[in-house]
Amino acid sequence: MNIHPTAIVDPSAKIAEDVIIGPFCIIESDTVIESGCEISARVSIKSGVYMGANCKVHENAVIGGLGQHVCPPGAPGKVRIGSNNTFREFCTVHRSIKEDGFTVIGDGNYFMANAHIAHDCIIGNNNIVANNVMFGGHVHIGDRAFVSGGVAVHQFCSIGSYAMVGGQSHITKDVPPFVMVDGLTSRVVGINRVGLRRSGFTSAQIARFKDVYNVVYRQGLTWKEVLEILKTQFNQGEEALVYKMLSASTRGIVQARVQPSLKINTDGLDQDSSDDNAAA
């Protein structure tokens, strides 16, 4: 191991032979750091962290800190991090607040400087999270999403796979897969065509995602009608992710910036298109 003499490493920590640990780092007990990881100066890796192979943690990051909770548990949970992740300067990742729980980060994610992942978040694979993003507790992120700088995501919200969230958005509801959120209004403005092309989807597949988008945001349907169409007509492959998220949503979804003119009726009550329970 290449451990700087100023680093403090608990003897019980399980660290692969080729791990690099820079000056003034603190590696606590009950930690596992797998092969190929590079830990830069002044990083703290707290108890309960498992870090997969080939991760890079830059200066002053804190991985595995206690959750910022007014009633902290007596026995917090852990953090499980996959392989090939990058945490830039001053990133923070907090442990689960449940004794048997985990904050989970998958593989291949890139977290830019000052990104914050709160307790009990579940982050998928190959996401890009830009500077100063804040994920509240219990936030779920899918795969290959792009979350721009300064975005704040309310606790218990989800951001779907292949979504793109514009800078400084305030996310207080779920962001469906494949869509694009405008940073100025924090509203949905269409599908993430560029991100979908970069992820290898064909023009025909992207057109299919557009059809899904129209069902959710353009036809003025009730929530029940939206779910039924998604379940019966868009239930194959990646497009099925939309039904999976929407059918499980407890917070509702981010609304579109441009609303359909048609007013809808949900459960017998007239509501305008901005209603939280509406699909459009």
Of the candidates 65, 67, 120, 143, the residue annotated as catalytic is 120
Q: How many CA atoms lie within 13 A of 181 on its CB side?
A: 33
Residue 166, Cβ density class (10 Å: 0-12 exposed, 13-18 middle, ≥19 buried): buried
Dist CA 64 CA 46 (whole Å): 5
Q: What angle do CA 36, 39, 45 make, to 5 degrees?
A: 110
Of the candidates 58, 94, 116, 119, the residue annotated as catalytic is 119
Concerning whether 154 is annotated as a catalytic residue, the answer is: no
Concerning whether 119 is annotated as a catalytic residue, the answer is: yes
One-letter identity of residue 153: V
Q: Please report, in angstroms and rounded to a whole number, the separation of the first and last CA atoms in the chain.
A: 56
Nearest to 55 by CA among 27, 34, 78, 30: 34
Of the candidates 22, 52, 64, 137, the residue annotated as catalytic is 137
Maximum Cα interatomic distance, the chain, rounded to a whole number of Å: 70
Backbone angles phi, psi at 113, to 5 degrees: -55, 140
114: left (phi over 0), alpha (psi -120 to 50) or beta: left
Concerning whether 120 is annotated as a catalytic residue, the answer is: yes
The residues carrying an active-site annotation are 119-120, 137
